[in-house]
Structure 1
Amino acid sequence: MSADYDRLFHSPDAVRTADEEIEHDTPPAGRDTASPHVAAPRSDATPPPMPIVQPRTQAAAAPPPRQSEITSQIPATQTTGPQHVPNNGMMRAPQTSAPQGARHEQQRPAPAPGPRHAPAPAPSQHFADPAADWRPAPQPAPTSAASMGNHRAIDALSHVGVRSAVKMPSQRGWRHWIYLMTRINLGLSPNEMYEMDLHARIRRNARDSYQIGVFGLKGGVGKTAVTVALGSALSKVRGDRILAIDADPDGGNLADRAGRQSAATISDLLSDKELHRYNDIRAYTSMNGSNLEVLSSEEYSAARREFNDEDWQGATDIVSRYYNLVLADCGAGLFQPAARSVLSTVSGLVIVASASIDGARQAAITMDWLRQNGYQDLLGRSCVVINHVVPGKPNIDVDDLVQQFERHVAPGRVIVLPFDKHIAAGTEIQLDLLGKTFERRIVELAAALSDDFDRLERR
């Protein structure tokens, strides 16, 4: 035992004093320093009873560091810098990515970087239960564009009411005169506000090319005059392209009542195969003062045949690409091919009757025929016009007649037109020359028909 003790602790290679380490921080030349795993324990005045020293090995033969714990002998007191670590014999030091239990050994190469430690919990994390492991506190869900939806902020402003600081002054009546003389603005009258509401209804967007037919079983009830006045009112208020087509096979006079400007007819339009733009169509139409365009039929005396269903289909296939609204001035019969073709394409209907018992019967027959021949849906989008074609009081109670017709159509769709001298003259119809009551009723008719512009069911 003594021989082993002397051999281990008195060998000049195995024992180095603390003073020799300080003096020899830099190893001398020729000394083998390639053995980083050789442990060189420091010797104190009194060596430990039974130290265990690991044998020196070459660096090439050094095994890779093990993840298990290594037991090493450390002297009773070690001095590493300013700290003193007491030890009572054997201490188990686990090998980690940054070893802390072998500070007494020589400088070793830095080991390969291991996995990073988990970051410290955020300050908002806390222990949910003192007796259990800590758990992260529930965090509010982050607000993202997906959770907020795809609604734009600018779209929400359209629903915010804005109060105008300036009132619109009245344009007629005593309110208008007070404003001119005193500059006191009393605002619009109820009549003007009602008119603005009618214009707003007329300006509704019409999808595709909306077609309206004007029918009447009895001649002389004013179908052509109603067509021209209605088209002129729609064109004046809306400001877009509106066309009226003479679809009367018995020689209609639509172009004469609207103001003929071109001698071209529907036959000329259908024979032209180079129609590629609106100006090509415009060469065959006439336009009145309200920008209503009219496409006339052939002169009855010079026509080779009557206006038929093929003419209507061919004309509407061409003009529907360039006009938002198309009106059809139809004949007196419903069994004619042209009338059947018009009924198959129009989305709105105007039934014109005179303010007489005979005219009322003809209008009632028209409504019954539509219901019995599969046009019930079209009848729901129809308006009835009771037209005073002669002056004086009629031989029928008009108010009672309106109530009877409102049982078959929606309320507000029975329009009574008073007698108008400008219409009775038989000349070109100008919207500005119509009576105020007649013009207001025509605007109400246009507003009632415009209520169906945005309806899904059509035809």
Structure 2
Amino acid sequence: MSADYDRLFHSAGDPVQTAEDGADRDAAPQGSAAPTGGPGRNEVTPPPMPIGGTPPAATGQTKAAAAPPPRETEVTTQMPPARSTAPQRQPNSMMRTPKAAGPAGARFEQARPAPAPAARPAPAPAPSHFADSQADVNGTFRAGPPAPTSAATIGNHRAIDALSHVGVKSAVKMPSQRGWRHLLYLLTRINLGLSPDELYEMELHTRIRRNARDSYQIGIFGLKGGVGKTAVTVALGSALSKVRGDRILAVDADPDGGNLADRAGRQSAATIADLLSDKELARYNDIRAYTSMNAANLEVLSSEDYSGARREFNDEDWKGVTNIVSRYYNLVLADCGAGLFQPAARGVLSTVSGLVIVASASIDGARQAALTMDWLRQNGYQDLLGRSCVVINHVVPGKPNIDVDDLVAQFERHVAPGRVVVLPFDKHIAAGTEIQLDLLGKTFHRRIVELAAALSDDFDRLERR
């Protein structure tokens, strides 16, 4: 160890001492050892040459050399430099501490461990599609920020598809079409945008325009006659047709002689029986020859005249009609009769995906609506009840004899909130003539649009029938 320390801590002017020097010191005679040399080293001087020039080894008078006395070794401790990032030898920053003597020499030196390699800075990571880890030159993974995605890693994704997620602000606001905002825009050209009521109406229209997969069927029921089922059917179908703009058909499924075609505007004398008897129906125009269309583009298929009908409308007629028209119409509405045990009503309930229960704003009408809901729950139509809406219709003017707000709260315990719609009394509806959507009162029209939006919320539900 001393030779290693000597090589490590010798001053700049001292000669480098090798292993052979240590071996010679081990073989020196005991009596002639004297400390010489520079500090930090113990050296043994050879005996003086006798006069005459004969070395002691030649005369055979050299005594056996005794073991060298233990000598003190010095252990130095290196003070680390103040600001050094790499291991360096600095002889001027040593502080020596004496240590117990021990065997010295090259043969007593212990093997020194190889110095650890200096830490090398990790190379900059190459761009990669691995966002969670990056590998350095030694093969180990270290956590790091996600690498930016280059154009080469995009693959087959088109650049134009990414633009659909970029938000774009309109440079022009849509001017209001009614109210004082509209008047201000006409007089001063100051555009304050749409009013809150207009924004709410746009939201309702957006809900109504939901895509209805294949043909979505809605039934309109009421256990009591005279509650306005036919008027609700025409108004609802007209609102859906005007907002959506696709093909919507209303079918008169009342076996007791309904007047759906008269309230919607009769244009054709053809009936359901005529449509079912035609065996050459291959295009939409073939169906259109048997229907009537009003100003809102709602088509109506009327039932047979009650006085000339040979039998009542039943479930087979309904299924036969829907099998034909479902290929050409997006929505099909059924104006049903007053009873639920009739074959026609059973046929409609077996195929529809939405339901509207109409009741008058009276205690008698409320009981009939409640009985309808209980009947559906007890006869296996619980899922259909979850997609039902309740309409409380004021069929007579004046204040009713029932608390309508309390009635709405009672019905909302059985259907979802927002699915109980109260229709006010409307003079155009009460006239009993052809129903035109533009002639309806503002409140009545808004409530019908809200009813259409509530039914449209179920267009994309999976548990359809």
- Is TM > 0.5 for Structure 1 vs Structure 2? yes
Corresponding residue number in structure 1 for 2:220 = 214
Corresponding residue number in structure 2 for 1:153 = 159
> Secondary structure of 1:245's match?
strand
Corresponding residue number in structure 1 for 2:179 = 173
Q: d(CA) in 2 for partners of 1:215 and 1:162? A: 46
Q: d(CA) in 2 for partners of 1:151 and 1:362? A: 58
Corresponding residue number in structure 1 for 2:64 = none
Q: d(CA) in 2 for partners of 1:334 and 1:309? A: 12
Corresponding residue number in structure 2 for 1:297 = 303
Distance verdict in 2 for CA 1:227–1:150, change over 3 Å: farther
Identify which of 388, 394, 405 aligns with 2:394. Answer: 388
Identify which of 333, 336, 340 aligns with 2:342. Answer: 336
Contact 2:127 2:150 in 1 (8 A): no
Letter in 2 for 1:204: R
Letter in 2 for 1:416: V
Question: What per-residue deviation string (whole Å, max 9, x for no partner) do you get for residues 75-123 of structure 1?
Answer: xxxxxxxxxxxxxxxxxxxxxxxxxxxxxxxxxxxxxxxxxxxxxxxxx
Answer yes or no: is 1:376 the counterpart of 2:403.
no
Question: What per-residue deviation string (whole Å, max 9, x for no partner) do you get for residues 248-294 of structure 1?
Answer: 00000000000000000000000000000000000000000000000
Identify which of 226, 229, 237 aligns with 2:235. Answer: 229
Identify which of 283, 303, 307 aligns with 2:313. Answer: 307
Q: Sequence identity, in percent?
A: 91
Letter in 2 for 1:297: S
Contact 2:218 2:355 in 1 (8 A): yes
Q: Which runs of 4 or more aligned residues in structure 1 lie more than 4 Å from their structure 2 counterparts after TM superposition?
A: 136-151
1:219-368 matched pairs, under 5 angstroms = 219-368=225-374
Corresponding residue number in structure 1 for 2:451 = 445
**Cα drift, residue 457 of structure 1:** 1.1
Question: What per-residue deviation string (whole Å, max 9, x for no partner) do you get for residues 354-407 of structure 1?
Answer: 000000000001001111111111111000000000000000000000001001
Q: d(CA) in 1 for partners of 2:389 and 2:162? A: 38
Answer yes or no: is 1:458 the counterpart of 2:464.
yes
Structure 2 stretches of 5 or more lacking a match?
A: 1-115, 130-148
Letter in 1 for 2:296: S
Q: d(CA) in 1 for partners of 2:162 and 2:392? A: 45
Letter in 2 for 1:305: R
> RMSD of the TM alignment (CA)?
1.9
Distance verdict in 2 for CA 1:183–1:342, change over 3 Å: same
**Cα drift, residue 153 of structure 1:** 3.2
Corresponding residue number in structure 2 for 1:57 = none
State TM-score, norm by structure 1: 0.69
> Secondary structure of 1:176's match?
helix
Q: d(CA) in 2 for partners of 1:164 and 1:139? A: 41
Contact 2:314 2:343 in 1 (8 A): yes
Q: d(CA) in 1 for partners of 2:324 and 2:151? A: 47
**Cα drift, residue 456 of structure 1:** 1.2
1:376-455 matched pairs, under 5 angstroms = 376-455=382-461
**Cα drift, residue 161 of structure 1:** 1.7
Letter in 2 for 1:364: A
Q: d(CA) in 2 for partners of 1:239 and 1:141? A: 50
Aligned length: 327
Distance verdict in 2 for CA 1:169–1:144, change over 3 Å: closer
**Cα drift, residue 141 of structure 1:** 4.8
**Cα drift, residue 162 of structure 1:** 1.2
Q: d(CA) in 2 for partners of 1:137 and 1:415? A: 66
Letter in 2 for 1:194: Y
